[in-house]
Amino acid sequence: KEDKEEAVEEAAEEMIPGLTIPVARVKRMMRNNPDKKKNFSKEAVQCVAAGMELFLADFAKNVYQFTVDKKRKTLAIADVAECVRLVPRFEFLDGPGIIPDVSDRQKKPRVQAAPPPSVAHANDIQRSLAAAQAQAAAEAAAAEAAAQAQAQAQAQAQAQAAGGGEAADAPTQAGEGGAAGGQEGAQ
């Protein structure tokens, strides 16, 4: 419990009023540098933290200006790369692995993507509508052919009934033969 309290007090001491960068992290970064010695005074760490804060504020302001010049509201990696490339005081950041090359991303051929769901859905609807229209046209043609066959069968039945002969067999023969004959004529 006392160790935690000491760690909290130590962290509070390391925070400098007005700085947002944690001093402990700056100290850790300074210790990871193989060219320098491992022990640093508290004042040196605070000066480096303040310098980092000023540098980041200036860099962010310049990158933001590139974004505003392009009339956009969101910072992009292209804005950072352009700032590093065009502003002389940031050219030390231009190197392999520091800022990714965004020109490679733009030159890659894009794979043809599937159409958006709304377009695919519209195409499905159009295909379904065309199929329904074709089916309705086929059904209408079949119904018209059946109506013509029935009309021919009735006409033959009336003609045979008026002729007087085999009245009982005439409707069945006319119905069977007339329907077949009507379909052949329609085709």
Q: What is the pLDDT along the chain (187 residues), one digit of tens a residue?
A: 567 666 666 665 555 566 678 888 888 888 887 777 777 788 888 888 888 888 988 999 999 998 999 898 888 888 888 888 899 998 888 877 666 665 655 555 556 655 555 666 666 777 777 777 778 777 877 778 888 888 888 888 888 888 765 544 545 544 444 444 444 444 4
The answer on 50 and 9 residing in a single domain is yes
Domain membership of residue 95 as a residue range: 2-104
pLDDT for the residue numbered 61? 92
At residue 174, the pLDDT reads 46
What confidence score (pLDDT) does residue 1 get? 59
Residues 93 and 155 in one domain: no
Domain shared by 93 and 156, yes or no: no
Residues 36 and 94 in one domain: yes
Domain for residue 80, yes or no?
A: yes
Same domain membership, residue 135 and residue 97: no
Q: Put residue 40 in one of left, alpha, beta given phi > 0 → left and psi -120 to 50 → alpha.
A: beta
Does the residue 119 lie in any domain? Answer: no
- If asked whether residues 14 and 73 sit together in one domain, one would say yes
Report the pLDDT value the prediction gives residue 187, as an integer from 0 to 100: 46
Domain-embedded: residue 174: yes
Residue 21 shares a structural domain with residue 96: yes
Q: What is the pLDDT of residue 59?
A: 92
Quick check: is 9 in a domain?
yes
Specify whether 6 is located in the same domain as 79.
yes
In this structure, the answer to whether residues 72 and 148 fall within a common structural domain is no
pLDDT number for residue 131: 77
Q: Where are the alpha helices (DSSP H) in the chain?
A: 2-14, 23-31, 42-69, 77-86, 102-107, 117-163, 170-186
Please identify, among 70, 104, 138, the residue that sits at the C-terminal boundary of a domain.
104
- Its pTM stands at 0.43
3-state secondary structure 6-22: HHHHHHHHHCCCCCCCC
Residue showing tokens 């990871």:
32
User: In angstroms, how far apart are the furthest CA atoms of the chain?
Assistant: 131
Tally of domains within the chain = 2
In a domain, 116, yes or no: no
Shared domain check, 9 and 99: yes
Are 13 and 96 members of one domain? yes
